[in-house]
Amino acid sequence: MQLNTVYVGFGGGSVLQLANREHQQTMSYIIDTPDGKTVVIDGGHGEKYMGLEAQDMYRMLSERGKQVDLWLITHAHTDHFGALRFLLKTQKPFDLDIRDLRFDFPPIQWLETVENGSYACPVADFLQLVQEANIPVTPLKRGDIISVGGITVEVLCDASTYKKYRSINDTTSVLRVSFPKRDLLFLGDIGAERARDLLNECPHNKLRCDIVQMAHHGQGGADRAFYEVVQPKVCLYTAPDWLWDNDAGGGFNTGPWKTMLTRQWMEELGAQVSLPLAYGDYLLK
């Protein structure tokens, strides 16, 4: 997998955006903090795609000593928590030292009522595996500020308003990660409705951020009005090649996805750099 290095001036530490290892969309980040701690955001897919992303995640964490000081999961979709679920099922005994695991998932009963109930069983299985591995879990809650290794993570929204929505994407926990000199906004898969509500709930200066992980893989998530407030300059697209080019098999921009529209918005709003999974891994320093 090609590794591309981009210098953004964090003032210490780095963020590794991991590309998909197979055809599917995914979201996976490893943060090396200025003080040598390891933070994971989501982690990517699991066993549905033979565990290639999970295995690569395990290899990279092994190279870092197998200690994860903080693991954050944005929401209850398997392209975000599936890699950790796969490792919990296949690594026996499980030997990653996860010091702090945080997420905020809606109740299983609600998950059974949305998206054909297809995520209730994977989430229930994941929760059981986490419990069996004795991993300490803390719920992500709006307003939390987590300090680890010279960075801070602020939780701008959580899943507590799940009853208002009919989409798991709209239960995403949005995270603002602050390095010594630069900040990143992780939007997960937040949808347009939840993004509009977030604009009303959150001070706009906390949403304004030069480096942004684009909502829902860069398509069909937050709308233009949201990005007009955020004003990103460096856009992180968790979009593989087919999604980046909106290619459902018929060629460039022949698919049903809204990636090209989002890309147009970002160009019009003055974004300077776009970093999609289509071009490999990206190391931001």
Q: How far is CA 180 from CA 10, 13, 149, 285, in A?
A: 6, 9, 11, 12
Q: Is the pLDDT of residue 136 over 70?
A: yes
| Confidence (pLDDT) at 110 | 97
Q: Can you tell me the distance from the alpha carbon of 40 to that of 15, in angstroms, rounded to the nearest whole number?
A: 10
pTM for the predicted model, two decimal places:
0.96
* Across 103-123, average pLDDT: 96
The mean pLDDT value for 187-206 works out to 96
Report the share of the chain in percent with pLDDT over 90.
94
User: How many whole angstroms separate alpha carbon 75 and alpha carbon 218?
Assistant: 16
In this structure, the dihedral spanned by the alpha carbons of residues 118, 155, 210 and 6, taken in order and rounded to 10 degrees, is: -70
Instruction: Give the integer Cα–Cα distance in Å for 244 and 46.
Output: 22
Q: How many CB atoms lie within 10 A of CB 95?
A: 10
Chain centroid to Cα 197, Å, comes to 20
Look at residue 1 in the predicted model and tell me its pLDDT: 74
Mean pLDDT confidence for 154-178:
97
Q: How many residues does the chain have?
A: 285
For the stretch 250-276, pLDDT in tens is 999 999 999 999 999 999 999 999 999
Q: What integer pLDDT is reported at residue 52 of this predicted model?
A: 85
Q: How far is CA 13 from the centre of its chain?
A: 18
7 falls in which pLDDT band (50, 70, 90)? Answer: very high
Q: List pLDDT tens digits, range 41-93.
A: 999 987 665 688 899 999 999 999 999 999 999 999 999 999 999 999 998 89
The domains of the chain are located at: 3-284
- pLDDT computed for residue 48 by the predictor: 60
Query: Does residue 32 surpass a pLDDT of 60?
Result: yes
Which CATH architecture group holds 3-284? 4-Layer Sandwich (3.60)
| Mean pLDDT, range 129-155, rounded to an integer | 97
